[in-house]
Chain A
């Protein structure tokens, strides 16, 4: 459910489905789609990380102290991402069983 585990599970998705003979071209297309989605996700993450950690850490012109802050911010953001993912998935699952949405 974490960011990295989630993106890596993307490529294994087909294993749960019944085996259908896929042409190499079809597999190539699927691999490409999965790769481009992974790139899009990584880009989005880097952009949001930079936005948030820049705001939190760079109060004054750059000095070496900020590097520690940026590293800590990265760790904290990834932990937050996983916590949000957990809460979101739990809520969606709950909502779909109770018919809220």
Chain B
């Protein structure tokens, strides 16, 4: 049997906790099976910071909470045929999006940053300033789910998704057999 050319995948973590990337490692020994089908391009797993070539599948963990997240997400959409939102943060904003509901004041973000760096009870911030180094990416007014920034092809739910649902979905997509999730695999927690 002639070997099929390997698919290329890329991954990135935006406003997430890296739990979904940990969940990718929960695939365990099936990683060997998966690696027979794919090469990993840009990803924290390979430590490549840029795309070396066009990818078949891009996997995004986390939503967009700052301008750098948006740049990375656009870069993934440009360079990937299929874009997957992995986990609840990428799908609906997740925990970072909790700030959205408290941000309906006249000075968006201000309240949140003040409490985090200046007025909060348990803070030991000797500078009494909100960090403002020019190298820091600017925060967005709200945390956005990936699907509100670019077009998302598939969403793998869960916080974090199980190794099983990640492997199952990737394997079926790579072999052209994906027809939606088994109902018992759908979890939002």
Q: Do A and B bind each other?
A: no
A interface residue numbers (CB < 8 A to B): none
B interface residue numbers (CB < 8 A to A): none
